Every structure is written in structure tokens, then in C-alpha cells.
């Protein structure tokens, strides 16, 4: 058995599993990639490593710098993990309120990061409890932008617009191509910052030109995303999502999933499939089942299980 030189070498190369019980009434199969088996527990380990190492190569990030980011949790945890292992100071602006935010903040602090929990006003009083990360991270992003402008020793990761986000998931896409036996007919994933969907879809479309690409938004989202249409872009908004949406024919459809739908499917993954996955995984599989129901016999739908169950021990919500 190989001995690795660093825990960072274990990022990526996650396994894929065919669903069995959730798909019993379907004639198409669903295959899921277990991204929650990355070292810190989510697919964001990939982008944290890629973004940091690219910045190191260009000289934009050196040992004297502090890494900052706004996050709904997973990227903050991943940057805390990768950044502190590499010797950087890490400051995260966590934008999920309540016990869920406190839980994630504790994980980041345990890894050595400084964490500031902020509560976006647009989350207060929501009846639909799913959380669209691209929207609620904006206050934290503005803080990161201001810090970067006022201090030359600050490096803002900019996950929402950093090319390293997409590049990291092109590697994920290549892994999927190598792992799937046959072709991929449909790929489904939550949009979030856009990096997962765009990076993987670019690789799959090159390998399987016919593949259908479906993005998922939380039902609570106040901003409508339409494939092939303009999406606003600024220093703190848009980025990868804008670039992806404006590409004609790249995304076939965007659907919404409610908090309740995501949580119910997550419980099925736990009890019926034995998968130690988080609620965003339930949302992705819910969308994958929806697509598989429309496909002919023998087709293959692929999706991602982004993070693990331990992010949702006190509260269960669909968060991107």
C-alpha cells in the first residue's frame, strides 16, 4: 500500500457508485460520484487546492499573505484545510445563519481559520429554507473585496469567478469519463458558483456530444437563471455563472428543488443506499431521478454527491 507524502495528495480520484434502491422503478441507471470522500468532506477540496496552487505559481499568493473568502460552508472549510496545511493564515466570512452556520464555523476554526459569521438580511423570514449560495455570499464577498483593496497582503480566492474553480472540475470530469462504463447521457448538478457544472460539463460534452446538461437551483433563489441568456456580472457577482449561462446550447435546462424535496431524498440515500451524503446530494439525486424518468431504457445519468452528512447534524437544509 502506498504511503502519501501529504494529505493533499488524497484530494480527488473519488469513486463512483450505481444507485440501486432509489432507482428500482427506473429503466435508466443513475451513477453518483462520491465527492464527500475528499479529505475535508466535500468536492470543494478540489477547487481550494487548484486555486491556491495556481496563485502560488503566478506569484499572486506568497507565504506572507492571508487567504480570505466568503462561503456558505464547504469552500470555507476546504480553504481552511488546504490553506492552513500549506502554512497560510485563512479568514472566512461564513454566510449561513443559525446552528448550521455555527457548525461549519466550528469546523473551520478547528482547522485553524479565523471565522466571521454574518447573516444576510435576505435570509430572514424565508418560508422556503433552501439557501442559494451565489446570492447569500454577496455581503461576504463585498467585505473580501474591500479587504483586498486596502491590504496588499490579502489574497481573495474569488471562488465565484476564479478559473481554477472550473479547471479543478475539468479533472473531475475526466475522472468520470474514465470511470463510467459506456456513455453518459445526462449530467445533473447544483449550480452554486458554477464551477462544478461548467468544468464537468465541458469535458463530458467533448467526450459525449449528445449529453444533456441540467443545472439545479434552490427553490428559494430570487434570481432566475436562463440558459443562453444574460446574467449580471460585477466584482462580486456573476463570474463563472454568467460565462456559463451566456453560452448558447451549453446548459439544456435549469430546474429548482425545494428544501423538503432535497432533505427527503437525502434520507433515502442514507437509509436505502448507505451513502453518507449531505443534503445537496439529495437535491442532485432528486434532479437525476427526474431526468432518468424521461430517458429510454439503458441510459445513464451521472450526478455528484458534494458533501457529507456531518455538515447537517443539527439542521438539514439544501445549501449551494
Residues annotated as catalytic are 44
- List, in order, residues 6 or more apart from 63 with CB less than 8 Å away: 87, 88
* DSSP-derived secondary structure for 213-280: EEEEEETT-SS---TTS-----SSS-THHHHHHTSTTT--EEEEE-HHHHHHHHHHIIIII---B-HH
Residue written as grid cell 432535497: 262
C-alpha cell at 89: 493564515
C-alpha cell at 160: 465565484
Q: How far apart are CA 309 and CA 123, in angstroms?
A: 23
* CB contact at 8 A, 216 and 254: yes
Q: Vertex 47, ends 44 and 49: CA angle to 5°?
A: 110
Amino acid at each position: 500500500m502506498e504511503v502519501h507524502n501529504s494529505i493533499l495528495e488524497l484530494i480527488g480520484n473519488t469513486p463512483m457508485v450505481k444507485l440501486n434502491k432509489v432507482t428500482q422503478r427506473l429503466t435508466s441507471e443513475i451513477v453518483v460520484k462520491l465527492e464527500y470522500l475528499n479529505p475535508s468532506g466535500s468536492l470543494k477540496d478540489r477547487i481550494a487546492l487548484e486555486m491556491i496552487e495556481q496563485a502560488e505559481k503566478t506569484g499572486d499568493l506568497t507565504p506572507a499573505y492571508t487567504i480570505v473568502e466568503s462561503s456558505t460552508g464547504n469552500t470555507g472549510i476546504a480553504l481552511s484545510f488546504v490553506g492552513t496545511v500549506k502554512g497560510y493564515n485563512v479568514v472566512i466570512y461564513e454566510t449561513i445563519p443559525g446552528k448550521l452556520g455555527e457548525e461549519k464555523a466550528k469546523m473551520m476554526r478547528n482547522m485553524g481559520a479565523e471565522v466571521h459569521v454574518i447573516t444576510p438580511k435576505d435570509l430572514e423570514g424565508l418560508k422556503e429554507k433552501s439557501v442559494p449560495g451565489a446570492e447569500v455570499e454577496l455581503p461576504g464577498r463585498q467585505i473580501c473585496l474591500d479587504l483586498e483593496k486596502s491590504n496588499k497582503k490579502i489574497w481573495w480566492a474569488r471562488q465565484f469567478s476564479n478559473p481554477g474553480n472550473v479547471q479543478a472540475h475539468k479533472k473531475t470530469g475526466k475522472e468520470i469519463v474514465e470511470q463510467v462504463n459506456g456513455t453518459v447521457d445526462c449530467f445533473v448538478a447544483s449550480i452554486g458558483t458554477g464551477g462544478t457544472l461548467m468544468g464537468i460539463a465541458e469535458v463530458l460534452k467533448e467526450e459525449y456530444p449528445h449529453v444533456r446538461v441540467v443545472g439545479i437551483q434552490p427553490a428559494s433563489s430570487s434570481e432566475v437563471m436562463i440558459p443562453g441568456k444574460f446574467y449580471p456580472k460585477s466584482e462580486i457577482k456573476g463570474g463563472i455563472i454568467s460565462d456559463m449561462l451566456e453560452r448558447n446550447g451549453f446548459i439544456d435546462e435549469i430546474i429548482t428543488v425545494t428544501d423538503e424535496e432535497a432533505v427527503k431524498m437525502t434520507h433515502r440515500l442514507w437509509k436505502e443506499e448507505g451513502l453518507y451524503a449531505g443534503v445537496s446530494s439529495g437535491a442532485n439525486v432528486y434532479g437525476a431521478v427526474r431526468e432518468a424518468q424521461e430517458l429510454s431504457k439503458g441510459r445513464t445519468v451521472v450526478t455528484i454527491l458534494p458533501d457529507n452528512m456531518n455538515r447537517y447534524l443539527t439542521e438539514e437544509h439544501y445549501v449551494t
